[in-house]
Every structure is written in C-alpha cells, then in structure tokens.
C-alpha cells in the first residue's frame, strides 16, 4: 500500500512504485473511476487503447482477412499506392 499527501492545491504526487506499475511518465494523464464507493485510477492512454482494441475486435475477420499476415500485406499495398512507389 502506498500513501500520497494532498497539497493545499488539491494535488497529489503519485508514488514511483505506482507510476511504474501503471507505466506512467511525465505528462501522462490518468483516468479516475468510481465503483461502489471506491476510486480507482489508471493510465488514460492504456484505457483508451483497450477500448479501441475491444471496438475493433473481429473487424479484420468481418473484412475477409484470414490472417494477420494477409492484413499486413494489404496495408503495405495501400501505403505503396498512397506513396506512389
């Protein structure tokens, strides 16, 4: 368990061990969520990435790709067309 002190401006310093566990670095944002009267915070970028990942789950299969390699080859062709070489 870690303890953080609240400043007169309502700010806290997140202990180093917590920052490491959440993979937070200077300038990162945190998400604060409440669940059953308890508050949890997490790395906002990782939460956003997880939500995007869930939203796109199955999209490649729906588009007709049968493997990751097939999808990557398609993306390379698109990049080639866009760049012109």
- The answer to the question of residue 71 being in a domain is yes
Rounded CA gap, 21 and 43, in Å? 10
Could you tell me where the beta strands, DSSP code E, fall in the chain? 30-35, 38-43
Q: How many CA atoms lie within 13 A of 66 on its CB side?
A: 0
Domain that holds residue 49: 16-83
Please tell me the predicted confidence (pLDDT) of residue 30. Answer: 93
- The answer to the question of residue 8 being in a domain is no
Q: How many domains does the chain have?
A: 1
**Above pLDDT 90, what percent of the chain?**
45
The CA R_g of the chain, rounded to the nearest whole Å, is 20
- The answer to the question of residue 10 being in a domain is no
In terms of phi and psi (left: phi > 0; alpha: psi -120 to 50; beta: otherwise), the region of 23 is: left
5-22: per-residue pLDDT in tens?
A: 999 999 999 999 999 999
DSSP 59: H
């Amino acid at each position: 368990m870690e303890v953080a002190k609240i400043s007169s401006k309502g700010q806290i310093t997140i202990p180093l061990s917590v920052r490491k566990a959440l993979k937070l670095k200077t300038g990162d944002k945190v998400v604060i969520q409440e669940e059953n009267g308890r508050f949890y915070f997490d790395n906002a970028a990782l939460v956003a990435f997880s939500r995007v990942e869930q939203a796109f789950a199955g999209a490649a299969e729906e588009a007709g790709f049968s493997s990751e390699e097939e999808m990557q080859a398609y993306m390379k062709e698109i990049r080639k067309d866009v760049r012109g070489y």
